[in-house]
Amino acid sequence: MTKAEFCKSLGWSLPIAWYDLTGICSILGQETIAKVELAQDRFAGEFEGFQVSIVNKKTGLVDSKYFRFDDYLDRARRKDPSSSEPTGKCYYAYGSSTFFGWRIAEPANTSPFTNAVEDYIAEFQVT
């Protein structure tokens, strides 16, 4: 799975165009965009969530928020419940030269996470 395929696989309802680890979605016509980026953790190749930025093309950054997978995905309802890590981390994406996908645990349902991101973006779509 490629990085862009992983990002697309989360089940977004917004029309996000993915370019590697970065997704772009137009809001408020063409003047403002939501930039959705898979954010790297302190360890190389590990991604614990998405950094979402609302950017006005004329005036720059409007707002930004970090969405961590573990904050929105249910630890009890995962495809591999026996998986865990000593650090307490449950969900994160991992990428190497040959693999990109979920590491430690795979969520059974990603909609709580994607809904939170999309609800945040929707706050800026009101004219």
Which three-class secondary structure state does DSSP give residue 113? helix
pTM of the predicted structure, to 2 decimals:
0.84
At residue 79, does pLDDT exceed 90?
no
pLDDT at site 86? 44
> What single DSSP character describes residue 78?
B
pLDDT at site 55? 96
Dihedral Cα 89, 90, 92, 96, nearest 10 deg: 90
How many residues are present in the chain? Answer: 127
Cα–Cα dist 116/72, whole Å: 8
Q: How many CB atoms lie within 10 A of CB 113?
A: 23
pLDDT at site 37? 95
Q: Which of 48-57, 63-72, 102-111 has the lowest mean pLDDT?
A: 102-111
